Amino acid sequence: MKTPRWFTRNRVLSHLRIVAAVALIAAGVVSAILALPLSATGSSTPAAEPQVISDDALQALTTTIGGAPVLPTTRTVTHWFGSTLDPNNGVTYGYNMVGADPSNCSGAACDVTVTVDIVPIKVVVGGMTFDPTDSHNALAGTLASPQFATNGYGSTPFATNSSFARGAGGLLSQNDAGNQLQLQDATMRAQFNKTGSSSYHVRLNPVVHDPVTIVVPGNRGTLLQSGRGVIFGDVDIQWWATQIQTLNASLGYNDPTHLPIYLTDSVLLHIGPNPFNCCVIGFHGAGPVPSHTSNGPQNGNGNQLVQTWAWASWVRPGIYARPNGGLDWALQDIHALSHEVAEWADDPFINNTVEPWLTPTAPQYGCTNLLETGDPVVAIGFAKGTNTYDQTPNPWTSPTNHTPSISYDGYYHPEDEVFLPWFMRLAPNNVSEPTQSPSTNIGRYTLMGDLNPFPGFRVPATGCD
């Protein structure tokens, strides 16, 4: 298989995990850090000259933060516990997932809605403001995307090909043809073959909150420019993780039964001091609710409060995606968000482990035992919905001049997602929706099924040898 150029650096980079070393800051301090006044252009100083990052150095990474054990009495997002025997190693693995237990629910009890608190973050980096609510409006684009709007999932016009460019589409979730579904709902229904007339749903109800402004200190972020001339913010991951956990500890509307999503526009993260060790495009996390919040004590005789959350950046075309359906075609708009939401749904508390796996499509994660459904299929996706944000036929430049846009096809580009039976080495797979064409393994191992062009996703996961 052809390896895209952004995989050529740090090929054996292990999956980064940031655990609870990040300090939570008291609410009275937070406003002083996060609510700094800005000029009309976002900063009183002129924007710095961006450095150009080569395509060989430009990676697409994600990570997780923290983690928390839960009990049936824990107050947190609606979830269920299951277990599966891995026939390859004889180990039974347990896992928590969002929603209702697809094997033991009936009727209305199978239909779960989770409130999503969307927090837009205006980020000032190097004197330039990246604002998801500006005239470009990545926030509106996100709300109109398949993540929250409903679409049909019976077919797709385009899908990633074996060169990581745009290829032909076709049947997608054929048993849900005719149903109008949100992206994560369609994903979970296909994962457990609860398609067609099934009452099984995992729905997201978005609630948008006032924007928060974060000004990145000069030693914690810089401006980078892709090979296509698109400028983006590049921020130190440890510093950024602190800001997100600070928000988790301070925002009064945060509720452990909700999913906060912190949304940025074209702000990516670097690992360590080198800004070219880039880029993390999203993460999700979980942790106990601090005792000083209004939601109750951290420990409560089995009624502990555990907050899950996610951060993802809207990825403008031209950071990764080449024009006219070229290399990394799917790495744009909601690709990072769809990755994080799917991983949150299948591993909300960052404690689902499986037999270690490794895939040549995503060597940047190395050998890992995490049930992270998006990691194996980063940059593999399909077209869905109508996208009028960053998808104009002519070049477009924002008022802050950080997006000379280039092509595109008028669709959103959600990521493919790997299903539980892939991690559990189940063959045949009698858990998920059948593949589009008859297969000896019966069920599909990813949402795209036959449309995923890589043979490693037509069979269960393989080990790290």
Which pLDDT score is estimated for 405? 46
- H or E element: which one contains 250? helix 237-250
374 with 340: CB under 8 angstroms? Answer: yes
Residue 464 included in any domain: no
pLDDT at residue 19, rounded to an integer: 30
Q: Which of 330, 222, 219, 334 is nearest to 268 (CA)?
A: 222
- Determine, yes or no, domain membership for 92: yes
- pLDDT at position 72: 78
The reply to whether 57 falls in a domain is: yes
- With respect to residue 78, please indicate whether it lies within any of the assigned structural domains: yes
- Strand stretches in 182-277, DSSP E: 201-208, 212-215, 221-225, 231-236, 259-265, 267-270
Strand pairing partners for 115?
Answer: 205
Q: With a cut of 70, list the residues of the chain below it in pLDDT.
A: 1-47, 290-302, 391-408
pLDDT in the model for residue 89: 95
In a domain, 218, yes or no: yes
The model carries a pTM of: 0.88
83 lies in some domain: yes
Q: Which residues contact 39 (CB under 8 A, 6 or more apart)?
A: none
pLDDT at 112: 98
Q: Within a domain: residue 174? A: yes
Q: Containing domain of residue 411, as a range? A: 5-457
Count of domains forming the chain = 1
> What pLDDT does residue 399 have?
37
Give the DSSP H/E element, type plus range, for residue 244: helix 237-250
**Would you say residue 462 lies in a domain?**
no
Q: Measured between alpha carbons, how far is residue 36 from residues 79, 95, 218, 232 in Å? A: 38, 42, 15, 21
Q: What is the DSSP letter of 346?
A: H
